[in-house]
Structure 1
Amino acid sequence: MSGALPRLGVLHAPNAAANLRDLVLAGRDRCEVVLLVRRDVAAAEPDLVRLGQALATVVVIGDDVTHELAGLGLDGLVTFHDAELEACDAAVRELGLPGATEADQPWDKLVQRRLLNAAGVSTVRSAPVDSPAGLFEAAAEIGLPAVLKPRRGTASTDLGFLTGPADLEAEPGRRERWAGLVLEQMIQRAPHPSGRRWLADYVSVETVTHRGLHTHVAVFDKTPLAVAGGTGPSRHAVRETGDVLPAQLPPHVYDAVLATTSAALTALTVRDRVSHTELRVCADGVEVIEVNGRLGGEVAGMIGMMGGSDLVRAAFDVALGRRPELAAPTRPEVLVSLYVPFPERSGPVRSAVTRPQVRELPGVVRVDEVAQHGAARSDTAFHAVKVLLTAADADSAGHLVRSVATRVARLYEADGLGADPWLRQLTDDGDESDAEPDSARPVDATPDGAAPGTTGPDSAAPGTAAPDSAAPIGAGTRGDTV
């Protein structure tokens, strides 16, 4: 690359929200991408380093991130991986690069909740826990039901759902790790405000913030959560099962989601960053679940496929102090990324299912994952299949999601998918059948085997200037199109 281009460091590791291909395409003709890989990651993932070296500059670093980056002449620094957020923020602050937050450790769930409480954005109570005795003290302070979870956890594992005194008493005998936990008041569940029972009661918002101005690019609905049981760190693992674009929210709820997201980001002192905020929604109000200081893991590619901006590129821009060019998703279809979970995380896959069988399911435009017979379920992040679906509207999408999930359960009958409470929750709707909708039709999609969330080198829609407001780009009159 030309030496005239700015140098952008990317703290990278496997399972980040942006993969190597995303990073290289986002930096093309805009900056020199310098991949920063920890020594332990480089040792465990030599193929990642080799591929990275073929596509960009790779620097292997140790634990003193700020010191090792000081001599690289970087003009910006960013990460798409949860585990690197604190190191990235500390280096940005010490090196005087764009993107520093005034608040310290805002991605720590306890610190974050306290900042949100202090700003009047959240009413959820929380308390630190570092021992069994501390758990009982915290429960006396905040009450039950509550959720015990790591303050800096990933993949929603090592959770304990304490619905009453019996769960509280049993928790010390079931938990192996006690350091760095938080007990948080459980946010009460509610039906989706649209009344569509195939949608979960929470949403996510992708926001690009530049110089303190929050521009909400897209709001996603979700399909219902699945909870897998087990022992140790995996005994309670909450799994997201699907993203839906656009969100089907009534206007007043949609407006509340955007206002609450802006207020939360301001409370966390976010100034230059792409962020992913999750919020519980109901007809009576909105509550922040958590704010992630990086791009959402599955949503960027969906935004691009629906005509919106490349948010990896936007993250690069704000990390370099540039004003990003942003465009809203404009296509009229409903796009669903559906990942059907295994009810149990341990053990091998028992069913024999092929990619062609999955490709033949109704409404499928791309197949990202198919769990293979005999493989560990963790090989596909505990999903039986992960597919991209499209339908003409939300009602058609509901029929389609239930139909595909039901058929996948039949394909993986030997793995117990048919008895999964998640499937029963998803399909328990007397007003709609599992029949394939006539209105399902595909949008442009990548071939099977392409990197998830990408549509090719030239897939990003032409950018338009970001508006000087906290409103979503191109918000529709119904409040459900962005």
Structure 2
Amino acid sequence: MTAPAGDASLPLVGVVHRPYGAAGLREIYRAAQGVCRPVLLFRRPVAEEHPELVRLAGVMFPVHILPEGGPVAPVTGLGLGGLTTFHDDELDFTDHLLTALDLPGAPATDRPWDKLGQRHAFERAGLSSLRFAPVDSRDGFRRALREVRLPAVLKPRRAVGGQGVTFVRDPGDVHHVLAHRTSWEGLLLEGLIPPSVHPSGVPWLADFVSVETISTSTRRLHCAVFDKAPVNIRSRAGAEGSDTVRVTGDIVPSRLPAEVRGLVLKRTGEALDALGTRYRVTHTELRVTPADVEVIEVNGRVGGHLTRLLRPLGGPDLVRAALALALGEGPADRLVEQHTELGRDGFMMGLFVPFPHQGGTVASRVTRADLRALPGVVGVDEVAEFGAARGDTGFRAANVTVRSGTAEEMDATVAQVVRGIAGLFAADGLESDPWLQRFAPSRRCQ
């Protein structure tokens, strides 16, 4: 399947693709202008499950379907100068191809995005003293509990966005896990990092942040630090008795005090050094505690929804950066040199408001125009449609972009927007959701 080739002087970059990643087809097309000619690669099971996506991709790009098992031969003859992906589920396959084809960005260690491997790497580098142990069976869970001790977190070694996470705080939680979990392969038990508050004292901000980093062979540019909206946790509401843990928003620039921000960036660089990360855009999550900054995990691809927040503030297009990094040193160095400091043009937030209940269909009739009418809303990426399954939007009622001129304006605007969305989706129970109380105007934390 082919599409117009575009500027033949530009190198080809393969993009291993699937739905619901950090970049869609339009974002890839726009970001590639003047950088490369993207070639979309689909593993056959993905192509068979999403034929309409493959058809749309074929209108915009050359498309190739890779046979089951992912042999390298079908890719070798494409003449690719680089390779990348914007989806976490395709990272390991992409790394396999990068290594086999000896392209920029090939991992320095085996499966660097595996959370167990990261814990070992951070421990060896002296970055973390957090207790952890692999879990692959019921008996393995019991052994890990003796080693790690409570409170702890049971999580998949390869998943993002809080998928499959279970907080194990007491013997009752242990009993619940043993009674409800049937799948044990590929899990990790690690000590629970004590919850804290955002060092700025702003009560509605969460106690963790993310850092977006561009890495070349010798240099690292930390493009932005994002604060987070409060995590939405539903105890024992997920599959196999797990909790549902949902990140609900990203805010840039961060309001971390300068000394804490410096430590966050230092820990991020140390974590990337421990993993040997090169020619990547990475998304590193870190928890800020009164004692230190603990690396939660490193994701080897662009963070979801973040480029839409950075570009209006003069920040880099992370999708464009990932495509350029895939080609090696020259394009990557130009990205580092062209970076400008954020913070002069106000604040941006991506807000994802989850439904309080996962089951059933959407009971509220809400349009994009309804959401755009809320104060400060400058973009609507997603709105749950009346009658659709709540899971169709990842159990989110709405995904909107909010802009303000100052930090104080953002505090007031976010509270208004959250209340507004709750009112629009009142028929789905949002107005009575206790999670919304985190956004109520209140005094700063002491």
Scaled by the length of structure 2, the TM-score of the pair is: 0.93
2:402 and 2:244 mapped to 1: Cα distance? 25
Q: Of residues 255, 258, 262 in structure 1, which corresponds to 2:262?
A: 255
Equivalences for residues 45-444 of structure 1 within 5 A: 45-62=50-67, 63-228=69-234, 229-233=236-240, 235-321=242-328, 322=330, 323=332, 324-325=334-335, 326-328=338-340, 329=342, 331-427=344-440, 429-430=442-443
> Given residue 50 of structure 1, which amino acid in structure 2 is its aligned partner?
R
Aligned-residue identity in percent: 45
Distance 1:60 1:268, change over 3 A: same
Q: Look up the SS of the partner of 2:177 in the other structure.
A: helix
Deviations 1:5-44 (A, max 9, x none): 2111111110111111111122223222110011122122
Distance 1:68 1:234, change over 3 A: farther
Q: Look up the SS of the partner of 1:199 in the other structure.
A: coil
Q: How many residues align?
A: 432
Distance 1:115 1:247, change over 3 A: same
1:2 and 1:388 mapped to 2: Cα distance? 33
* 8 Å CA contact retained: 2:122, 2:271: yes
Q: Of residues 18, 27, 34 in structure 1, which corresponds to 2:32?
A: 27
> Given residue 291 of structure 1, which amino acid in structure 2 is its aligned partner?
V
Across the aligned residues of Structure 1 and Structure 2, the Cα RMSD in angstroms comes to 1.7
**More helix per residue: 1 or 2?**
2
Structure 1 residue 213, shift from structure 2 partner: 1.4
* 8 Å CA contact retained: 2:252, 2:349: yes
1:255 and 1:177 mapped to 2: Cα distance? 41
Unmatched 5+ residue regions in structure 2? Answer: 1-5
- Please identify, of 398-407 and 226-235, the stretch whose mean Cα deviation from structure 2 is larger: 226-235
> Given residue 130 of structure 1, which amino acid in structure 2 is its aligned partner?
D
- Please identify, of 179-188 and 56-65, the stretch whose mean Cα deviation from structure 2 is larger: 56-65
Q: Of residues 9, 13, 18 in structure 1, which corresponds to 2:14?
A: 9
Structure 1 residue 237, shift from structure 2 partner: 1.9
> Given residue 11 of structure 2, which amino acid in structure 1 is its aligned partner?
P
1:152 and 1:232 mapped to 2: Cα distance? 16
Distance 1:270 1:212, change over 3 A: farther
Structure 1 residue 154, shift from structure 2 partner: 3.3
- Please identify, of 195-204 and 55-64, the stretch whose mean Cα deviation from structure 2 is larger: 55-64
Q: Look up the SS of the partner of 1:124 in the other structure.
A: coil
* 8 Å CA contact retained: 2:177, 2:241: no
Deviations 1:254-280 (A, max 9, x none): 000100000000000001111000111
Structure 1 residue 411, shift from structure 2 partner: 2.1
Q: Look up the SS of the partner of 2:212 in the other structure.
A: strand
